[in-house]
Amino acid sequence: MLNPNLEDVQLSKEEYERYSRHIILPEVGLNGQKRLKAASVACIGTGGLGSPLLLYLAAAGIGRIGIVDFDIVDSSNLQRQIIHGTSRVGQPKLESAKQRIHDLNPFCQVDLYNTRITSENALDILKPYDVVVDGTDNFPTRYLVNDACVILGKPNVYGSIFRFEGQASVFNYQEGPNYRDVFPEPPPPGMVPSCAEGGVLGVLCGVIGSIQATETIKVILGMDTTLSGRLLLYNAQTMSFRELKLRPNPERPPIEKLIDYEQFCGIPQAQSLETDVPEMTVQELKQLMEQNADDYVLIDVRNPNEYEIAKIPGATLIPLSEIEEGDGVEKVKELTNGHRLIAHCKMGGRSAKALQILKDAGVEGTNLKGGIRAWSQEIDSSVPEY
Residue of 43, 149, 195, 205 with catalytic role = 195
Cα 275 from Cα 270, distance rounded (Å): 10
Residue 59: how many CA atoms within 13 Å on its side-chain side? 13
Cα 230 from Cα 176, distance rounded (Å): 9
Q: Which run of H or of E encompasses 167?
A: strand 165-171
Cα 202 from Cα 199, distance rounded (Å): 9
User: What residue type is assigned to position 101 of the chain?
Assistant: I
Label each residue of 300-355 as H, E or C.
Answer: ECCCHHHHHHCCCCCCEECCHHHHHHCHHHHHHHHHHCCCEEEEECCCCHHHHHHH
Distances (CA, A) of 305 to 103, 149, 300, 350, 373: 37, 38, 12, 15, 16
Cα 310 from Cα 345, distance rounded (Å): 11
Active site residue 265: no
Residue 133: how many CA atoms within 13 Å on its side-chain side? 34
Which residue numbers are catalytic?
195, 345
